[in-house]
Amino acid sequence: MKLRLVAICLVAFMLLATACSNNENGQSAEANQTEKTTDAGKTPESGQNDPFGKYGEPITLSLGKAVSTKDTNLPNGDTVDNNEYYRFIEKKLNVKVTHAWQTETVDAYQQKLSVSIASQDLPDAFIVNEKQLKQLVEADLIADLTDVYDNYASPLIKGYYDSYGDRVLKRATFDGKLMAFPNTQIGGQHNMTWIRQDWLDKLGLQPPKTLDELFDVAKAFTENDPDDNGKQDTYGFTGIPTLAGWNSVNGFDPIFGAYHAYKSQWLKDEAGNAVYSSILPEMKTALTKLRELYAAGIIDKEFPVRKDSNELIAGNKVGIVFGPWWIPYSPLPDSVKNDPKAEWRPYTAPLDADGNFNTYDQNPTGSFLVVNKEYAHPEAVAKVLNVEYEGIRKLDPESKEIYKDLNVSWAIWPFALQVGNEDDVYRTHLELKAAWEAKDPSNLNDELKMWYENVKKNTENPKKDLNDWSNAMSRMDGSAETDPGKLTVIRNVFFGQTKTMEMKWAILEKMENETFLKIILGEEPADKFDSFVTEWKKLGGDQITKEVQEEAGK
């Protein structure tokens, strides 16, 4: 589990670096926007209703912030609260950003924030989680940002939020009032099916499309010696003890989806009511099939107890891996390093009986930028966010030289709040693909030009450099499968935590994971699922469902 968390942290870092980078490669590819920046000479007296309006007189904005002072790559003399990013903001807006307090770690930030909330001694602006947001709203401690958003959020920022429909802003809206600027989680992090193409070729098999075809391929990979070592020591695929989860590796999500089963999600039934997906009949069907595959030796027998769920991938003992578009960054390079003949290809499969690839959406937000109700200039928070993202995305020409080639983290900007388009991964792919097909990278930004060169080098010398291979496979092959047109996305209706969840969810979740795993391993009969559902409802599930229905209906 620890290594799984490392992998998740790695991709989170990679996505942040991709979406919000300010490194030597320049503008982020994930948000290659064309919005215009404000004329540098425009300096209205008050900035009234101007997203980039400069104040006639200096104002201050104090933050509470978690930011490590170690390994910042800041040049001598610059600090996390006195640097070129902050000076850029001050130059553009006449807003001097200061730190009311800062911490080195997220844990320390949460402790300090709890004290600040309890004492009602709050910075002008700070970032909270969803539970804290609700507490602050109930206590009437933060500003209503409805008019601020309407009048001062830039077209760029509004466009990011609009790409999610109402699913992001709604989470920060209470009684019709917008109370925060939410972060956004980039979409397309679902598990697809990666397959050893060289194994398919060796065994004379076609890429699978349906569940039955996938299982036939997995069976052949298990029984027909695809690595040609004369031993029956390979598997179709491995798994993880929790069985599923977006933005992870080795979850059985594609198989569940083909059965219309989704683990641990709150969905709408045909009557429009919120239901917990793990207790629906489709889940029993999917678990029963996984139990059959496990008994046949097609699923790695040791997957529940492996310390490293990617061990068999690195050892080239599995031919199918369920993972997102980014796994050519990790763990697939270990496979290629240990067997240069390994040829991995991504597929949007298996499809259901109607030809659809079903997946569920990830939590689109979880962090919220709020403003102290007592702060005199709440619109300044929107303006700073606007200018910050004009800088992060290198849309303001004056931002392009800031810390060039120094690899200073984007998180040093005032607000470490990631916002971007939901389909940024696919947008970037299309831009890179168009340049590649035209053999003309001249219109790409610096980051995409780097990936273009990676694709070029890997095409000329396949796998000679694993960094080139990783970027080429992820940005050209993996990201192509995030095409929204290929997906049937089942929308969640609730991502939060109800009052009963706070007390009972850990117990229910533990029971669910243990029961499902035991069914697959053959330690419990498939009909154990039915008694699990009864027990789940009795131990708090029914009450939680009622609370979720009330929350989802707001």
**Is 440 part of any domain?**
yes
What is the torsional sign of CA 195, 200, 206, 208? negative
Phi and psi at 181, nearest 5°, equal -100, 110
The mean-pLDDT minimum among 290-299, 361-370, 442-451 falls in 442-451
Q: Which of 488, 512, 530 is the last residue of a domain?
A: 488
Buried b vs exposed e over 51-90: b needs ≥16 C-beta within 10 Å? bbbbbeeebebbbbbbbeeeebebeeebebbebbbbebbb
Question: Could you give the number of structural domains in the chain?
Answer: 3
Domain that holds residue 231: 192-358+490-552
Residues 29 and 119 in one domain: yes
The mean-pLDDT minimum among 26-35, 72-81, 265-274 falls in 26-35
**Is 419 part of any domain?**
no
Residues 371 and 497 in one domain: no
Cis bond leading into 350, ω under 30°? yes
**What percent of the chain stands above pLDDT 70?**
91
Which pLDDT score is estimated for 247?
87
The band of 12, judged by pLDDT with boundaries at 50, 70 and 90, is: very low
Which pLDDT score is estimated for 47?
55
Which pLDDT score is estimated for 552?
86
Residues 475 and 548 in one domain: no
- Cβ–Cβ under 8 Å, residues 244 and 253: yes
Residues 182 and 324 in one domain: no
Residues 279 and 315 in one domain: yes
The more confident residue out of 48 and 447 is 447
Q: Kindly state the DSSP code that residue 477 receives in the 8-state scheme.
A: I
Q: Which of 346, 380, 412 is the last residue of a domain?
A: 412
CA distance 382 to 369: 10
Reported as a single tens digit per residue, the pLDDT across 364-412 is 999 999 999 999 999 999 999 999 999 999 899 999 899 998 999 999 9
Burial class (CB in 10 A: 0-12, 13-18, 19+), 229: exposed
Which pLDDT score is estimated for 39?
36
Which pLDDT score is estimated for 51?
97
Which pLDDT score is estimated for 445?
86
Which pLDDT score is estimated for 48?
72
CA distance 513 to 383: 45
Residues 306 and 222 in one domain: yes
Which pLDDT score is estimated for 405?
87
Sequence-distant (≥ 6) Cβ neighbours of residue 508 within 8 angstroms: 536, 539, 540, 541, 544
Residues 178 and 76 in one domain: yes
Which pLDDT score is estimated for 550?
94
pTM of the model: 0.87
Domain CATH for 227: 3.40.190.10
Residues 512 and 388 in one domain: no
Reported as a single tens digit per residue, the pLDDT across 194-225 is 999 999 999 999 999 999 999 999 999 999 99
**Is 418 part of any domain?**
no
Q: Which of 488, 506, 539 is the last residue of a domain?
A: 488
Residues 208 and 335 in one domain: yes
Which pLDDT score is estimated for 2?
37
The arithmetic mean of pLDDT across residues 524-534, rounded, is: 98
Nearest alpha carbon to residue 376 among 62, 45, 53: 62
The arithmetic mean of pLDDT across residues 112-139, rounded, is: 96
Which pLDDT score is estimated for 36?
33
> Is residue 482's pLDDT more than 50?
yes
**Is 306 part of any domain?**
yes
The arithmetic mean of pLDDT across residues 514-521, rounded, is: 98
Residues 256 and 328 in one domain: yes
Residues 121 and 240 in one domain: no
**Is 267 part of any domain?**
yes
Beta bridge partners of 174: 177
**Is 420 part of any domain?**
no
> Is residue 128's pLDDT more than 50?
yes
Residues 201 and 344 in one domain: yes
**Is 467 part of any domain?**
yes
> Is residue 325's pLDDT more than 60?
yes
**What percent of the chain stands above pLDDT 90?**
88
The arithmetic mean of pLDDT across residues 73-100, rounded, is: 97
